[in-house]
Chains A and B, each alone.
Chain A
Amino acid sequence: MTRLRLALLALLLATGCVHVAPYEREDLSRSSMDASREASEVGFESHVHDAREGATGGHGSTGGGCGCN
């Protein structure tokens, strides 16, 4: 747990150290770099995995929501 807190703290501090200007982000704007474009597909797949696996999370769900339990 301590390692996790330290890792999160390091990441938060990194937000102030890293600066990539908007005009340098051409490659980041490519569709293949944008995970949010696949949100609907991820939604269905998460639903399938939630109904078949003991774990959940990482995509906003923590169980419940349908009778496929």
Chain B
Amino acid sequence: MRRALVRVERFVWFALLLGLCASPAWADRASGTTTGLLELRGDYYWETSTRVLAPSARLRLDLPDGLSLDGEYLLDSVTSASVAAGALTDSGFTERRNDASLGAAYEFDLGEAALALSLHGTFSKEPDYRSLSGSFGAALSLNDRASVLRLSLGYLHDDVGQVFRTGTGARPDPMGGVAGSFSENLEAFTSSAGLDQVLTPTLTASVSYDFGRVSGFLASPYRRLLLADGTRRAENHPDLRLRHTVSGRLAWYVRATHSAIHVAYRAYVDSWRIAAITPEVRLYQELGGHRTLRLRYRYYAQNRASFYKPADQYTADDTLISVDPKMSAFHSHLLGLKMMLDLSFLEHSVLESFAAATVDMNFEYIWNTNRYGDGVIASVGLRLPF
């Protein structure tokens, strides 16, 4: 299985490089009829114990015959103090995750309707973790594209390892063994169905339902609990999780003020008895001078997993143990400010090729009541359609 994954990994890298190299040639052959999008982003996340820097590049090509190709590369550079995440004896570290994805979509013209089929694959690798996933999607557009029915199915396979950055590499009790011998798997089947609907000339609505079946090793190989009697226990979660999510969004354009208001709501429940709600509102305000300001507020609240307890309440008789802050009851508020600037003022200048581009800068602050604490998300981005 591992050898097969290595082969698939090589194929994904090869296909991604091929796709990126071949793109200009296809555009030339099409004599300008091929369109596309180049997107470059730099995302940053900060909290007390963790910093993430994630530059990414994405290229999409829309070929004249209806085929669309998509490739993306993302580098996750994570600096973390793992003790803060629950490990008892480990030190701060920096590690990198390489994430590459490829996708292809084709739209069939069915007269008054259109059917788009898509395939998407992602490979992610970091020192102690490897993930491979693929998905199939279908989107049926009806009523001159006023209605779009969506369906997607996906599969994910992860290999979970363990890296000890300091010390002897011996695993803590009770599992024993050495770091290099730790090998677990995680599998997920995902499905999603949704509807996008134009309701009026200024109002659209979207609803979706997601179901996921996740099985295998669902804990962290690093988080441990120190019991009152001094014994160490590794985190142990149930090996099956069924996840249900219903979400909806309304988007309304207000002509009088040149504003767009997006209101979204997500309800979630799973077989670990976690239930959560996520209401969100976004206000996009056109400011003139090619500028748009976005204000965002997101609220998140959940109850605790059925097996989660404060660390000092676990005893030697407990088989399921969690020291994962996201298994606890908590809530968070997110407030964000984003500025988007379209570069159309570059028309008729030496930089005219960037006139269709937009740049954006985003800053968000998260107030969080669990052990992770408050966080900051910041990003800059460039979108260049061609």
Contact = CB atoms under 8 A, between A and B. Distances in A.
Co-complex (A, B): yes
Interface string B241-267: 101111101010101000110100010
Nearest to B195: A11
A28 B143 contact: no
Interface string B203-230: 0110111111010001110000000000
Given A15-B147, A44-B379, A57 B212 contact: yes
Interface residues of A, number: 48
Nearest to B241: A63
A32 interface: yes
B188 interface: yes
Nearest to A7: B207
Nearest to A21: B144
Contacts of A54: 268, 270, 272, 274, 276, 302, 305, 326-327
Given A22-B145, A54-B327, A28 B197 contact: no
B129 A67 contact: yes
Contacts of B156: 64-65
A62 B191 CA distance: 9
A4 B302 CA distance: 21
Contacts of B41: 40-41, 44
B284 interface: yes
Interface stretch (B3-11, B23-31, B51-59, B169-177): B51-59
A60 to B, nearest CB: 6
A65 B128 contact: no
A35 B205 CA distance: 11
Contacts of A37: 383
Given A22-B145, A62-B243, A67 B326 contact: no
Interface of B: 39, 41, 43, 45, 52, 54, 56, 58, 72, 76, 78, 97, 99, 122, 124, 126, 128-129, 131, 133, 135, 142-147, 149, 152, 154, 156, 158, 160, 186, 188, 190, 192, 195, 197-202, 204-205, 207-212, 214, 218-220, 241, 243-247, 249, 251, 253, 255, 259-260, 262, 266, 268, 270, 272, 274, 276, 278, 284, 286, 292, 294, 300, 302, 305, 325-327, 332, 340, 342, 358, 360, 362, 368, 372, 375, 377, 379, 381, 383
28 contacts: A8-B207, A8-B209, A18-B143, A19-B143, A19-B144, A21-B144, A24-B201, A27-B202, A30-B260, A32-B286, A32-B292, A35-B249, A35-B251, A41-B41, A48-B45, A52-B372, A53-B300, A53-B302, A54-B270, A54-B302, A55-B300, A58-B210, A58-B245, A60-B152, A60-B192, A64-B156, A65-B124, A65-B133
Interface of A: 4, 7-8, 11-12, 14-16, 18-22, 24-28, 30-33, 35, 37, 40-41, 44-45, 48-49, 51-58, 60-69
